[in-house]
Structure 1
Amino acid sequence: MRLLIGIDDTDGAGWAASTARLAREFGDTLAGEARFIGSVGHILFSGVPATTSNKASCLVVESARADAADFLLAQAAAYVEANAAPSSAPGIIVAGAEAEALVDCGRAASRREMSAEELAPLLGGLRAVGLRGGRGLIGAAAAVGLTARGWSGRWLEFGGLRRLDRAVQARELRALGIFLVSLEADAEAPAPDDWIDTHGRLRPQLAAGRAVLPLRRIGEGMWEAAGAEPMKKSR
């Protein structure tokens, strides 16, 4: 069974770990109980006064447990409670096929500020937990809805992509399940042995429910990830 786990509002001013990082690290704890496929980051409406970048995360997992949804909600709640910023108000939502009911919520939250009153009717039948007031439930619901829709956001983890070198061959990315799409005018696509410069920031798009990496040709047998900004060197 495939399940989506939306998480939002776990960080705070001066807190080192972002919600995206917390979500990825929680996914890594699920080995043996569920298969962590990846996590998708979504940027929601920027005008919400309680946040800066307003990013929410959604984990994609698979589990054969009969009680997978309840188990994952309990695990996520315990992990977030232990690792979220004290000033945060996290929200967590776990959904399977019912995630489709949150698609319109996700689209709305990417365009305007939503209220808790608007969200409340949508939570019936969903597994949700709001901690310390649960302000993050709106973002968690939006992340689940947008991931279910499958046409926005970027994969922040997918098949171990963070362990890859900056320059990788097309065959390596395809082996992970990442679809490579050329943005060039001709019909050429990267050959298996072609090299791709990810600029150290491999973040495939969520498109058609898949991990898709747009590419531009930069030389013979050489490509680069379109729109990828080089990682800043740490001092």
Structure 2
Amino acid sequence: MTKIYLGFDDTDVVGAKIGTGRLVRMFERKLPDGARLWGALRHQLLIDPRIPFTSHNSPACAVVEVADEALVPELVARAVAHIAELASDGSDPGLCVARETDDLSEIVEFGLSCTYEIETQERARAVAARAGVRLLGLGGTNDGIIGALAAVGLTAYGWSGRFLEYGRLRRLADPISVAALAEAGIESVAIDREACALAPDALVSTGGWLSPRLWNGRAVAPVERVNGRLVAIGKRPRDAEVAD
């Protein structure tokens, strides 16, 4: 199986019911036979008043596994149609599509730069062209190509972002054992002062909202001990952010 990265950005406007993160999650339903969603990730870019963004400047990336790379043109066509169907009027959507086997080193650098610098469409197009990846502006000012390329770069980097979708993520029990999380493909890592190894039968409270991070290319749940309980960080109400 080969991983294909599809970066989406700027598909919504203020007050939209479907934010970019949710739009990316919904793309799973549009995947062709022979493709499966490995995960969907939200990334955080620079917040700066000089940057036009809807609410949080947070692009998203769908990581899709394909048995045959001949499916990539179909994935691109379906992603373009998905954006055309669900992006908000007045948005400036962008799409980036890359294979994990591409040389993504400059795209990774671009993605990291977007977390602390203001980047431009011109540089995004130049970086994508040198890497030989698809970068499509799909409406409005096309500013979404910047975040779409950054989302691919940060996902390929492997140490950025949090999962919006990952297997049974949204159907996991609360609390849930460390062993059960591992069976779901999610590693539990203690981040408190002691940073102890966690026993397989230890229970982790998620508050109904588990937010694994992408660490070393894997889904990891950071856990801390609070009043004697193991608590996964990142609890938020499910409707707290339209992008999710």
* 1:165 Cα deviation after fit: 2.8
Tell me if the contact between 2:7 and 2:95 (Cα under 8 Å) persists in the aligned partners.
yes
Identity of matched residues, %? 38
Aligned to 2:171: 163
1:188-199 correspondence to structure 2 within 5 Å: 188-199=196-207
Tell me if the contact between 1:28 and 1:36 (Cα under 8 Å) persists in the aligned partners.
no
The one-letter code of the counterpart of 1:211 is: A
The one-letter code of the counterpart of 1:24 is: R
Aligned to 2:55: 52
Measured in 2, the distance between the counterparts of 1:233 and 1:138 equals 27
1:139-158 correspondence to structure 2 within 5 Å: 139-158=147-166
1:182-193 correspondence to structure 2 within 5 Å: 182-186=190-194, 188-193=196-201
* 1:84 Cα deviation after fit: 0.7
Measured in 2, the distance between the counterparts of 1:161 and 1:189 equals 22
1:1-235 correspondence to structure 2 within 5 Å: 1-30=2-31, 32-47=33-48, 48-96=51-99, 97-98=101-102, 99-124=104-129, 125-133=132-140, 134-186=142-194, 188-218=196-226, 222-226=229-233, 228-231=234-237
For residue 103 of structure 1, give the secondary structure of its aligned residue in structure 2.
Answer: helix
Measured in 2, the distance between the counterparts of 1:151 and 1:230 equals 22
* 1:24 Cα deviation after fit: 0.7
> What root-mean-square deviation, in Å, do the aligned CA atoms of Structure 1 and Structure 2 show?
1.9
The one-letter code of the counterpart of 1:223 is: L
Q: 5+ residue gaps in structure 2? A: none
Mean CA deviation greater in 111-120 or 136-145: 111-120
Measured in 1, the distance between the counterparts of 2:75 and 2:238 equals 35
Flag the 1:30–1:232 CA change in 2: closer, same or farther, 3 A: closer
Map Cα deviations across residues 134-184 of structure 1 (whole Å, 9 max, x no partner).
Answer: 220100000000110111111111112011233212122101111111124
For residue 55 of structure 1, give the secondary structure of its aligned residue in structure 2.
Answer: coil
Flag the 1:230–1:130 CA change in 2: closer, same or farther, 3 A: closer
Measured in 2, the distance between the counterparts of 1:72 and 1:200 equals 32
The one-letter code of the counterpart of 1:121 is: A
The one-letter code of the counterpart of 2:169 is: L
* 1:26 Cα deviation after fit: 0.3
Measured in 2, the distance between the counterparts of 1:135 and 1:230 equals 29
Measured in 2, the distance between the counterparts of 1:196 and 1:157 equals 19
* 1:77 Cα deviation after fit: 0.5
Measured in 2, the distance between the counterparts of 1:28 and 1:166 equals 26
Q: TM-score, normalised by structure 1?
A: 0.91
Map Cα deviations across residues 184-204 of structure 1 (whole Å, 9 max, x no partner).
Answer: 444632222221101222111
Flag the 1:172–1:93 CA change in 2: closer, same or farther, 3 A: same
Q: TM-score, normalised by structure 2?
A: 0.88
Measured in 2, the distance between the counterparts of 1:106 and 1:120 equals 13
